[in-house]
């Protein structure tokens, strides 16, 4: 029996017709129920997809590992005009440059006053009324030393003898300080080879080809080999290290640059992969210290009691939870508040305004609260929130190492700050073109990063290393308070 809903309701006269009508209605209702169920599933799927897309649109450096440079530009909210003029306001105490001491003054020129503007009479000098210092650069020209290798005949046997270059002088056209300047410009100031070429020409009148600069980088890399190996062995034996990694390109192919920081030594290592094997090569197969890092799986071979997860990364994860609606958003808000409170306590400990014993008392409460919230999130219905919370709880012991172990920080900011120099270089250069280029960049970045942490001049350090490599003097070490030399 078919039902035409455009017609009036049918009238049944027998029980058989009534049963047939019921059967037909049942089929219609079942078909409609199935359609509604399919539509509900489709709506739920599309809703999840829309939420995921909206979450991707909200992704920024505050709730993910996206760099701040990739954040969408949002115009700042305009402030209502205050009616004041730009610049310093009346009554503001100005700041003037401090005069340099007498021993740093190169030239002194006395300025005498002109004849009196009132009567034209001569002026008798009675004292000093003001001092004005002007800083300038002298004309810069390179020093060129010509080594004339003489030859002669032995007075006894008649053999022809030829002179050789002095110690510390190579067959290259570039001297040690010029070579060190090339390393400093490429490593510390992130200049490309062509930019270095232009700067040397414009400022110093030195004309070098791009190929000569590239060969100079290879020479610097060879000179730094032992120094960097020594520093790498040092960080592998350190008690507390910070580790991180970032993308790198070699010959257009995707590679990675790993970083390990211990105390004031930052060692970079280029690798073809982002694997556990590469992490072990950077940290050392027998690494026995405490590792501060993010939750990346390549570090999972280090046991949880010897790890400290970065709370700055965790805060970004919690911020992403807080931006969701419903129960995940509430849990995320509470986790963000607890994490911010954790950082407040840690800053007080670091500044010396809170004792470590009181800090440990505060952290007992925060630890219980944070782990309870993570368990609630892990048991929730939101798949992404549950997955994140479960993953964090698996490394529960690695959340609190900084509370009980002196010298361990709750964030991996030390490594991230050191890595930023390479990221800037990568944006300018686009990567290296060969394994030799990768060896150079990992070694020059090791020197630049460590010198920055130690407050040392990389130009002076590189000059001494190159001179020692050419046989003049002893190479300095990157290891703090170390007299170990090549």
Q: How confident is the model over 163-170, as a mean pLDDT?
A: 86
Domains of the chain, residue spans: 311-404
β-partners of residue 290 are: 240
Residue 432 has what DSSP assignment?
Answer: B
Counted residue by residue, the chain has a size of: 486
Buried b (16+ CB within 10 A) or exposed e, 272-305: eebeeebbbbbbbeebebbbbbbbeebbeebeee
> CA 486 to CA 476: how far, in whole Å?
8
pLDDT, one tens digit per residue, over 351-403 is 889 888 899 999 999 999 999 999 999 999 888 999 999 999 999 999 999 99
Q: How confident is the model over 254-266, as a mean pLDDT?
A: 94
- pLDDT for 292 beyond 80: yes
Residue 398 has what DSSP assignment?
Answer: G
pLDDT of residue 139: 85
Burial of 108: CB neighbours in 10 Å, binned 0-12, 13-18, 19+: exposed
**Pairing state between β 307-309 and 290-293:** parallel
| Cα radius of gyration rounded to whole Å, the chain | 35
Tell me how many degrees the CA angle 45-50-56 measures, rounded to the nearest 5. 130
Q: How confident is the model over 299-318, as a mean pLDDT?
A: 94
Check: CB of residue 299 under 8 Å from CB of residue 269. Answer: no
Give the containing element (helix H, strand E) for 247: strand 240-250
> CA 214 to CA 270: how far, in whole Å?
18
> CA 51 to CA 239: how far, in whole Å?
44
pLDDT, one tens digit per residue, over 360-373 is 999 999 999 999 99
pLDDT, one tens digit per residue, over 411-438 is 999 999 999 989 888 888 888 889 999 9
pLDDT, one tens digit per residue, over 431-472 is 888 999 999 999 999 999 999 999 999 999 999 999 999 988
């Amino acid at each position: 029996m078919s039902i035409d809903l455009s017609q009036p309701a049918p009238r049944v006269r027998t029980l058989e017709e009534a049963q047939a009508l019921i059967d037909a209605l049942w089929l219609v209702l079942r078909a409609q129920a199935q359609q509604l169920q399919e539509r509900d599933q489709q709506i739920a799927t599309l809703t999840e997809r829309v939420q995921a897309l909206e979450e991707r649109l909200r992704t920024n450096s505050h709730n993910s590992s996206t760099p701040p440079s990739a954040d969408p530009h949002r115009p700042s909210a305009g402030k209502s005009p205050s009616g004041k003029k730009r610049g310093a306001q009346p009554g503001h105490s100005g700041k003037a440059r401090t005069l340099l001491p007498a021993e740093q003054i190169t030239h002194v020129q006395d300025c005498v006053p002109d004849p009196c503007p009132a009567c034209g009479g001569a002026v008798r000098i009675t004292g000093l009324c003001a001092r004005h210092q002007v800083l300038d650069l002298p004309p810069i020209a390179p020093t060129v030393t010509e080594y004339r290798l003489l030859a002669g005949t032995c007075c006894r046997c008649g053999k022809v003898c030829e002179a050789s270059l002095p110690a510390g002088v190579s067959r290259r056209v570039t001297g040690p300080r010029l070579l060190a300047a090339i390393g400093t410009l490429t490593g510390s100031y992130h200049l490309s080879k062509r930019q270095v070429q232009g700067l040397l020409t414009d400022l110093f009148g030195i004309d070098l080809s791009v190929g000569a600069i590239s060969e100079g980088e290879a020479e610097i890399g060879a000179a730094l080999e032992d120094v960097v190996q020594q520093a790498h062995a040092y960080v592998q034996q350190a008690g507390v290290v910070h580790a991180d990694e970032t993308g790198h390109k070699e010959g257009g192919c995707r590679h990675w640059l790993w970083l390990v920081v211990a105390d004031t030594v930052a060692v970079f290592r280029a690798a073809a992969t982002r694997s556990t094997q590469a992490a072990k090569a950077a940290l050392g197969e027998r690494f026995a210290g405490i590792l501060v890092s993010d939750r990346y799986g390549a570090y999972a071979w280090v046991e949880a009691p010897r790890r400290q997860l970065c709370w700055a990364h965790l805060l970004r994860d919690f911020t992403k939870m807080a931006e969701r609606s419903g129960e995940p958003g509430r849990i995320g808000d509470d986790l963000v508040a607890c994490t911010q409170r954790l950082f407040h306590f840690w800053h007080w400990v670091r500044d010396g305004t809170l004792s470590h014993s009181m800090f440990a008392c505060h952290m007992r409460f925060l630890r219980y609260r944070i782990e309870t919230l993570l368990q609630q999130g892990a048991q929730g219905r939101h798949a992404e929130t549950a997955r994140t919370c479960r993953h964090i709880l698996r490394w529960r012991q690695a959340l609190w190492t900084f509370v009980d172990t002196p010298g361990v920080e709750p964030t991996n900011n030390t490594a991230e700050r050191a890595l930023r120099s390479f990221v800037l270089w990568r944006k300018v250069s686009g990567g290296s073109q060969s394994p030799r280029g990768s060896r150079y960049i990992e070694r020059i970045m090791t020197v630049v990063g460590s010198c920055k942490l130690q407050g040392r001049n990389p130009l002076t350090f590189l000059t001494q290393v190159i001179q020692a490599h050419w046989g003049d003097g002893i190479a300095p070490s990157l290891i703090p308070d170390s007299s170990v030399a090549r």
